[in-house]
Amino acid sequence: MKEAYIVSAVRTPGCKRAKGAFKDTLPLDLISFILKASVDKIKLDPNEIDDVMIGCAFPEAEQGLNIGRNAAKIAGFPDKVSGATVNRFCASGLEAIADAAMRIMSGWCDVTIGAGVESMTYVPMGGNLPRPYPDLEKKQIDLFISMGTTAENVAKRYNVTRQQQDEFAYQSQMKAANAQKKGLFTEIVPTPATKFVTQPDGTVKRETFIQSFDDGVRDDTTVEGLAKLRPAFSLTGSVTAGNSSQTTDGAAATVLMSAEKAKALGLKPLAKFKLFTTIGCRSDEMGVGPRYAIPKLLDKAGLKVEDIGVWEINEAFASQALYSMRELGIDKYLDRVNINGGAIALGHPLGCTGAKLAATLIANMQRTGAKYGVESMCIGGGMGAAALFELCD
């Protein structure tokens, strides 16, 4: 079996839903731009690309009609480059990378792109017309409950306190603010954004500007301020808007190749995509997914927690991230976890997140020299996903 190498991994900034820089920017524009940027960065001829896999958690409306194919065409790729849309909810972007890697590993393709996109401004959580299945037995209704409710379940069942969640959220914001000040988000490509500006005569003009940073980071966050926020999902709960991930717009893309093709094109691989795994868990505590996905991944790889130099564990909610890290002993290595902050500060653009975290993880592995990096996330409906990356010399 061949090995799959990553030769480019980039992302747009992540911007706040409905209020951020991308609120008037179509998701097709975001993903087509970052697809082209991922190729342009390594001066790759698009004719070399075999297939494009794009993750999207709610592939409808402005994100519908097979955005995987449409984005590739709008990016300027030739007709021969095919595309598909992949949905594994919060792990969609990572699933897209894994599917793209498997095509190379099987020998079906030589060059693929795994990407992700979500505009939570244009397509809200749950989609525009959610229709849960009406005839489930009570035990299965958990498939459709609020993700916030599952976070409350995790906090209550596994004794994750409000103070612990708020302190974790504070650290996420501080790490992200520090990374911004030091210019550590080297995986970001400044991205064209649209805004509609009312003119003096009352008409509205469409204008374009360049957005170069994640606009949800709150560098003035304090633990005391977080403690004043009301629970968001239960009157007696501990999960708040402050210790939950931000709803966000964004896109990311990763270019993968076989070793032979990279050598033929004179491209230096950044990292090897080693392994990907998924696992199911109880739907009403879906946030515990990483607690089960990570051990499965490490067992297959023959590695231990201490072998991993950099972690990206998606902060869907502080409660689930804290519980998963505590159970696995990752909390002993917090200096390796989400070192530039996580989704609480930077946002969780659903179908984009898996691809976004891959770009951040690889950039941090290069900067720190970590041989192995792992990204993992919980998934709506009760699942976990995890992937292992190995830095190339």
Say if residues 187 and 212 touch (Cβ distance below 8 Å): no
Q: CB count, 10 Å around CB of 46?
A: 19
Rounded CA-CA distance 27/122 in Å is 8
- The encoded tokens of residue 327 equal 């159970």
Rounded CA-CA distance 217/94 in Å is 23
Instruction: Please provide the size of the chain in residues.
Output: 393
Q: Among residues 90, 109, 281, 352, which one is catalytic? A: 90
Name the helix (H) or strand (E) containing 33. Answer: helix 27-40
90 flagged as catalytic: yes
* Count of helices and strands (H, E) across the chain: 11, 12
Say if residues 36 and 251 touch (Cβ distance below 8 Å): no
Q: Among residues 56, 109, 281, 348, which one is catalytic? A: 348
Q: Interhelix angle for 318-328 vs 289-301, to 10°?
A: 40
348 flagged as catalytic: yes
Q: Among residues 15, 109, 352, 378, which one is catalytic? A: 378
C-alpha distances in angstroms, 111 versus 8, 84, 356? 12, 15, 20
Rounded CA-CA distance 391/389 in Å is 7
Cα four-point dihedral sign 293, 57, 238, 236 = negative
392 flagged as catalytic: no
Q: Could you list the active site residues?
A: 90, 348, 378
